[in-house]
Amino acid sequence: MRITHRIGGKPWTGTAERTGDVYDPATGQVAARVDFASSADVDEAVAAAKAAFTGWRGASLAQRASVMFAFRELFNARKAELAAIVTAEHGKVLSDAAGEIQRALEAVEFACGIPNLIKGGFSENASTKVDVYSILQPLGVVGVISPFNFPAMVPLWFVPNAIACGNTVVLKPSEKDPSAANFIAELFAEAGLPDGVLNVVHGDKVAVDRILEHRDVKAVSFVGSTPIARYVYETGTGNGKRVQALGGAKNHMVVLPDADLDLAADAAVSAGFGSAGERCMAISVVVAVDPVGDELVGKIRDRIADLHVGDGRRQGCEMGPLVTGTHRDKVVSYVDSGVEEGASLVVDGRGHPIDGDEGGFWLGPTLFDHVGTDMGVYTDEIFGPVLSVLRVSTYDDAVEVVNDNPYGNGTAIFTNDGGAARRFQNEIEVGMVGVNVPIPVPVAYYSFGGWKDSLFGDSHAYGPEGVHFFTRTKVVTSRWLDPSHGGINLGFPQNT
Ligand code: NAD
């Protein structure tokens, strides 16, 4: 099978100079080949988006909202098909893919409210007989560059708000699981989105670099690993673009001595191993405050033993494979290095039973205890089913560990002490905080974003900050002539 770009509302008909393999991670087989865009192919997509901009920015708010509502209906009706596409290329189990799509739907529903969201302000008689008002206008062509781990949800964090605000889009999804983006673009076309408003180009760094340097691209929303996010931010802003670049993570779950340890162990296992740990909000570090360490580690170990790992299409599987063989090998190398560095390997995922084809990119859930902050398993974002437990003596030590970490995407505290939780939310230097909630992904009417090395730029993704990112404000000061007008005054305008 061949997967190609969608430009100007149609599948691309050219011949790609380069292509990439798309795997079925549960079998390890190449399932398709995806075209990699050249700079010229990106130029073609940007030109289509630019040509569509004038008409689309002129579409009324009612028309734009109506397309969003139509898309919402189609998306909701066909979400099972999309979940199957996500599972086939990403590997996450079907129920998890369905969860991703449900959260994506929330972002679409938010954008359906665009007429209300894009209201400006109006001040009557700011000066005598002078009115002042603000208008939120679209930017033009915007680029969206997304990672492999949420091939449906992350594009839909940005695309609905971007187009509802009147922009046109060039979307460059991950080359590892490219089909979800095409499915979404086809549904938008069916929903009545004019040709050229949403274009999809596939590929790698070549396509990304062209988006970052193209003078007709006014803004870029990026999600991916921290080194690439930093590069995208620096290059994009260096080229005069507005950029929001969300990066990687190392999310800590702090467990205080008064916590319900069964609840905490359930949460650690769900948030650590869901989607095989390939979530930017996955819990990768449990910070156990004395004396809970031994009991908590025992409870997590017992729960891991029961996890059903296998082909995400099979009934009952709770955790699927890693996305590629290369990535699986990299994650396995961390299991080796953790042992070499002196962490205690409590559960070795390499021996976990697998309900799937032996060629799949498997690694079972792995648990390390007595991890130190100087070990690679702690300092690096592993992005796989490897959970580390760090033991500390006090609440203050736990906060220090989290705040010293360069990442600041998500964190959670497990406790029954409201005062401690309240202090934590105040003191912790992380953008998204859960109180007895391990994966605190904000609902669509808030905004998503980490701090420190987990986000470069000023705007978080989706929600009100998304609308802010995809619009620029114009302020109009107006006076309509009436008989009192007249006279020359060279002084700076003052309000009277
Ligand atoms: P990645 O950084 O490898 O790729 C992200 C995007 O950048 C892809 O579209 C890819 O084609 C492109 N890209 C890759 N290398 C590039 C290069 N050298 N130059 C230019 N572009 C390049 O990330 P990934 O492996 O696809 O996704 C996993 C990462 O994304 C993890 O680090 C995860 O934490 C992060 N992530 C963060 C969030 C968040 O909201 N902060 C959400 C999801 C994923």
Calculate mean pLDDT across residues 178-198: 98
Distance in angstroms (rounded) separating the CA atoms of residues 246 and 441: 14
**What tokens were used for 111?**
């954008």
Q: Per-residue pLDDT averaged across 437-449, rounded?
A: 98
Site to substitute for ligand 1 among 225, 281, 361, 453, most atoms within 8 A of C-beta: 225
Best mutation site among 23, 89, 202, 208 for ligand 1 pocket (most ligand atoms within 8 Å of CB): 208
Residues 221-257: b if buried by 16+ CB within 10 A, e if exposed: bbbbebebbebbbebbbeeebbbbbbbbbbbbbbbbe
130-138 and 122-127 strand pairing:
antiparallel
Instruction: Check residue 20 and give its pLDDT.
Output: 98
Nearest ligand 1 atom to alpha carbon 150: 43
pLDDT surpasses 80 at 465: yes
pLDDT in tens, 122-145: 999 999 989 999 999 999 999 999
- pTM, rounded to two decimals: 0.97
Distance (Å) of CA 244 to CA 220, 439, 445: 7, 22, 18
Average pLDDT over residues 314-335: 98
148 CA → ligand 1 middle, Å: 7
Predicted confidence at residue 496, as pLDDT, reads 82
Please report the atom of ligand 1 found closest to the CA of residue 450: 41
Residue 225 Cα to ligand 1 midpoint, Å, equals 4
Q: CA 235, CA 50: separation in Å to the nearest integer?
A: 21
pLDDT, position 299:
98
Q: How many CB atoms lie within 10 A of CB 268?
A: 29
Q: What is the mean pLDDT of the chain?
A: 97
Ligand 1 mean position to 223 CA, how many Å?
Answer: 6
pLDDT band at 485 (very low <50, low <70, confident <90, very high): low
How would residue 482 be classed by pLDDT, with cut points 50, 70 and 90? Answer: confident
**What 3 state SS string does the chain have?**
CEECCEECCEECCCCCCEEEEEEECCCCEEEEEEEECCHHHHHHHHHHHHHHHHHHHHCCHHHHHHHHHHHHHHHHHCHHHHHHHHHHHHCCCHHHHHHHHHHHHHHHHHHHCHHHHCCCCEEEEEECCEEEEEEEEECCEEEEECCCCCCCHHHHHHHHHHHHCCCEEEEECCCCCCHHHHHHHHHHHHCCCCCCCEEECCCCHHHHHHHHHCCCEEEEEEECCHHHHHHHHHHHHHCCCEEEEECCCCEEEEECCCCCHHHHHHHHHHHHHHHHHCCCCCEEEEEEECCCHHHHHHHHHHHHHCCCEECCCCCCCCECCCCCHHHHHHHHHHHHHHHHHCCEEEECHHHCCEECCCCCCCCCCEEEECCCCCCHHHHCCCCCCEEEEEEECCHHHHHHHHHHCCEECEEEEECCCHHHHHHHHHHCCCCEEEECCCCCCCCCCCCECCEECCEECCCCECHHHHHHHCEEEEEEEECCCCCCCCCCCCCCCCCC
With b meaning 16 or more CB within 10 Å and e meaning fewer, what string describes 63-82?
ebbebbebbbeebeeebeeb
Of all protein residues, whose CA lies closest to atom 7 belonging to ligand 1?
Answer: 224
Indicate which residue's Cα is closest to atom 43 of ligand 1.
280
Q: What are phi and psi of 298, to 5 degrees?
A: -60, -45
Convert the pLDDT of each residue in 233-285 to its tens digit: 999 999 999 999 999 999 999 999 999 999 999 999 999 999 999 999 999 99
Q: If you measure from the C-alpha of residue 226 to the centroid of ligand 1, how many angstroms do you get, rounded to a whole number? A: 8
Domains and CATH numbers, the chain: 2-247+454-476 (3.40.605.10), 251-435 (3.40.309.10)
Residue 95: pLDDT over 70: yes
The reported pLDDT for the residue numbered 488 is: 85
**Residue bearing tokens 């400006």:** 120
Q: Which residues line ligand 1 (CB under 6 A)?
A: 145-150, 154, 172, 174-175, 204-205, 208, 223-225, 228, 246-249, 280, 381, 383, 409, 450, 454
Number of neighbouring beta carbons within 10 Å of residue 44: 20
- For ligand 1, pick from 200, 204, 407 the residue to mutate: most ligand atoms within 8 Å of CB: 204
Average pLDDT over residues 372-390: 98
Which of 89, 103, 148, 234 has most ligand 1 atoms within 8 Å of CB, for mutation? 148
Cα atoms found within 13 Å of the Cα of residue 182, Cβ hemisphere only: 18
pLDDT of residue 484: 66
The answer to whether 195 and 222 are in contact (CB under 8 A) is: no
- CA of residue 224 to ligand 1 center, whole Å: 2
In the chain, the amino acid numbered 254 is V
Sign of torsion over alpha carbons 204, 205, 206, 207? positive
Are the CB atoms for 32 and 207 separated by under 8 Å? no
- Which of 99-108, 433-442, 480-489 is least confident? 480-489
Catalytic residues: 280
The minimum-distance atom of ligand 1 relative to the CA of 246 is 41
pLDDT at 483 over 90: no
Ligand 1 atom nearest 383 alpha carbon: 31
Closest atom of ligand 1 relative to the 448 alpha carbon:
40
Q: Report pLDDT for 495.
A: 86
Give the mean model confidence (pLDDT) for residues 413-439.
98
